[in-house]
Amino acid sequence: MALPTYQTGTVSVAAGGTVVTLTGGSWTGTNAKQGDFISIGGLAEVLITEVTDSTHLKIAPWQGTVKTNVAHVIYQNYVGRVVGVAAAEDVGDMLEKLHVDGLPFILGSAETVPDPSYGDEGQLAFKPSTGQWWVKTGGAWVPSAGISGVTEAPNNGTQYGRQSLAWTPITAPSFVQDGTGAVTRTMQNKVREIFSVMDFGATGDGTTDDTPFIQAAINAAIAAGGGTIYFPPASVNYKTVATLNIDVRGISTRLQQVIQLVGAGPGRSTIKNTTLAGAVIKYQGVNPGIENFFQMRDMRITGNQVVGSIGLQVTVSAYMSLRNVIIEVMGVGFDATDVEQASFQDCTFSYNLSGMIFNAPHPTTGITQPNSMTFLNTIVAGNVNFGVQMTNAGALNWVGGSIQYNGVQGGGAGNFGFAIVNSGAAGNYGTLLFSGMVFEGNRGVAQFASSQTDASSMSSVLFESVSFERTTVGYPTNDIAISGTAISRYKLSGCTFRSGAGYVASASRPCISNTNTSAATVMMDASTWFQNPLEAATAQQIVLGEPGVSFGVLVLKGQTSGAATILTPTVAGAPVLTTPTQTGTLVSTGHPASIKAWGKWNSAGTLGAAYGVSSVVRVGPGQWTVNLSPAMANTNYVVNITTGLGSTGYTMATGVHNITTTSFTVFSMYNNALTDPTQSDYICCNIIG
């Protein structure tokens, strides 16, 4: 009988290819199976190794030339298609053997010997409870060894298996790692290296409450002194309805209570809780002096913005690490108290009511302020109230990533991108660094807000290559808002203050606001610029160049005798200048060596004080001619020009100039023409190199 075939449509295959593509037909899994053979273009049949879908199957590498839309024949000769025939043959063989040898006669537990009336000559009898065999010989049952080598398995609690008709203890499956020096381990010992939540009953089907199963895995890891809790890829997500508690306060040995939550990626290992007004995961550590090293990576926590819900709450932890973690749609994404030495890498905290909160130490049991924290390429975005709020934090490093479109609720005092309160209070370090990152589209008070009211607070914030971006749909009152009464310093280097297309600038929304003028100082260099003059920082708000320009006593000595001394004023007004009694060129010995020349003139052009600069003349909007005496060396210098009229100041930080003549022209730092006053109350010029 000829084998059935299937040959509808045409096929294509590349030379040396392993994938055959069908056109004009359909391989349903019935007309083509793994194990069938296919003939392509009339050539010899090749084995089908896999039917991928209705139009693709796999073969061994095609030895012929490329075939495109040629005829094919599938010979349906897979052995599984005729397994019924093979089974029928086996049954026939068995019946034939039974006809010859007969079935063994089985004794019940109450019988001691077989009934003589039963059985045929040569037939066997067997009593399972004792393992005794008999054979019917001469019409009587005679004790026998039965089938050679067959005995009852020992009943001693050990697993046994048949090998050559003898019972042999079964050895547990073993595992040997590849490589020189690898040792043999039992498979059970190997798989117990991690605590998979599915080993404890979790389903990940998005319907079953997996809370008790996940908690059981956590408890097992804690009981073992620490370990990795693994969340395998879920078909939907791991649904929870109550808090998952990680409490390691019972472990007091250094480096022994390390708990790691590890997933298969935020898209496949998601914990979802849409009803709880509490923490989805709550971590409780011991004294940070006993390093916790709590870790979470490649996972996601999500909810339904329930008020009071917290994605991850951490209390008392040192050397905590989150990597590739997403926490979203919670009341608060991340909440931390008594946390230090923490790192956040490639994490996202988004679409929560509030993004991240770092609290001051607990009032009675507090151990540490939030400090020594590093954020690498971390994004805090789209949170309703605010992005990040920190109290008493210090030694913070935020490198890369962004804080954007937070405070979407509007312009209330509780809406902002990032806020720091009393940094450096109670002996904390008080330093914050933002580098190579973006503040964009945050609404409310500010993109970055600093409130320093604690007398013990002393804060220093450095913005390095940071972009502050305002958009038509998201902009705050200020990009940087500084308030309070305590000492704080802010420096901007290589920063930009920009706005997107369609944004309308307003003088009522200055980029920088500093209401703590008695104790807070803002400094920036010429590499920082503002796109919109109406919102740019004014001369009254910032100190250009180096701090030494503004503090201390500057002494200018003549070549022969006398001295010119500029004293720091005790009240508002111009510095006091005492000139030498004898003529001679003045040289600077009291100001920083980097200040190459400087000068200040009043509105009438009368020189107030100068060194190396004879005059500065406005020649057009944002354009100034600087006359030197004498000329500078052939070196690149930074030129800063500041003008003021009434209460308004204009900063003309013009960047680097190669000054080789006694006169040169500099231009506004802005990318559009500056409408500055034609007459100024004062003009200041600094040349720094």
The answer to whether residue 318 is domain-embedded is: yes
Q: What is the pLDDT of residue 169?
A: 64
Task: Give the mean model confidence (pLDDT) for residues 493-519.
Answer: 90
Q: What is the pLDDT of residue 449?
A: 96
Tell me how far CA of residue 249 lies from CA of 260, 314, 373, 406, 552, in angstroms.
16, 13, 23, 35, 53
Which stretch of DSSP H or E encloses residue 98? Answer: helix 83-101
Lowest mean pLDDT across 14-23, 465-474, 480-489, 559-568? 559-568
The answer to whether residue 649 is domain-embedded is: yes
Q: What is the pLDDT of residue 616?
A: 77
Residue 58 and residue 31 share a domain: yes
What the block records as the tokens of 587 is 């040289």
Tell me whether strands 623-628 and 613-620 are parallel, antiparallel or unpaired: antiparallel
Report which of residues 349 and 522 the model is more confident about.
349
**In this predicted model, what pLDDT tens digit does every residue of 613-663 receive, in sequence order?**
777 777 776 677 888 877 776 566 777 777 765 545 555 545 556 676 777
Q: What angle do CA 148, 152, 154 make, to 5 degrees?
A: 130
Burial 238-253, CB ≥16 within 10 A → b, else e: bbbeebbebbbeebee
Give the rounded distance of the alpha carbon of 120 from its chain centre. Answer: 79
Residue 631 and residue 529 share a domain: no
**How sure is the predictor about 519, in pLDDT bands with cuts at 50, 70 and 90?**
confident
Task: Give the mean model confidence (pLDDT) for residues 289-315.
Answer: 92
Identity of the residue numbered 508:
S
Q: What is the pLDDT of residue 104?
A: 79
- Give the sign of the dihedral formed by CA 409, CA 412, CA 418, CA 423: negative
Identity of the residue numbered 86:
A
Q: Report the phi/psi class of residue 660: left, alpha or beta, with left for phi > 0 and alpha for psi in -120 to 50.
A: alpha
**In this predicted model, what pLDDT tens digit does every residue of 392-438 receive, in sequence order?**
888 999 999 999 999 987 667 889 999 999 987 766 788 999 999 99
Residue 537 and residue 591 share a domain: no
Residue 520 and residue 397 share a domain: yes
Residue 319 and residue 437 share a domain: yes
DSSP string, 565-600: EEEPPSSSSPPEEE--SS----EESSS-TTEEEEEE
Q: How many domains does the chain have?
A: 3
Residue 590 and residue 497 share a domain: no
Residue 565 and residue 486 share a domain: no
**In this predicted model, what pLDDT tens digit does every residue of 561-582 receive, in sequence order?**
444 444 444 444 444 444 444 4
> Alpha helices of 593-632 — where are they, by DSSP H?
none
Boundary of a domain, candidates 45, 80, 115? 80
Collapsing DSSP to helix, strand or coil, 549 comes out as helix
Boundary of a domain, candidates 544, 572, 588? 544
The answer to whether residue 177 is domain-embedded is: no
Which stretch of DSSP H or E encloses residue 189? Answer: helix 187-191
**In this predicted model, what pLDDT tens digit does every residue of 312-334 receive, in sequence order?**
999 999 899 999 999 999 999 99
User: Do the beta carbons of residue 370 and residue 336 sit within 8 Å?
Assistant: yes
> Measured between alpha carbons, how far apart are the two ends of the chain, in Å?
99
Q: Is residue 630 reached through a cis peptide bond, with omega within 30 degrees of 0 on the bond before it?
A: yes
Quote the radius of gyration of the chain (alpha carbons, Å). 42
- The 3 state secondary structure assigned to 593-650 is CCEEEEEEEECCCCEEEEEEEEEEEEEECCEEEEEECCCCCCEEEEEEEEEEECCEEE
Torsion of CA 268, 274, 278, 279, to 10 degrees: 0
User: Do the beta carbons of residue 27 and residue 54 sit within 8 Å?
Assistant: yes
User: Do the beta carbons of residue 412 and residue 381 sit within 8 Å?
Assistant: no
Residue 458 and residue 331 share a domain: yes
Q: What pTM, to 2 d.p., does this model score?
A: 0.60
Residue 490 and residue 417 share a domain: yes
Q: What is the pLDDT of residue 123?
A: 83
Query: Which has the closest alpha carbon to 355: 405, 397, 392?
Result: 405
- Give the sign of the dihedral formed by CA 596, CA 685, CA 570, CA 541: negative
What domain range is 430 assigned to? 279-288+300-544
Residue whose entry in the numeric block shows the structure tokens 């390691």:
248
The answer to whether residue 625 is domain-embedded is: yes
Q: What is the pLDDT of residue 55?
A: 93
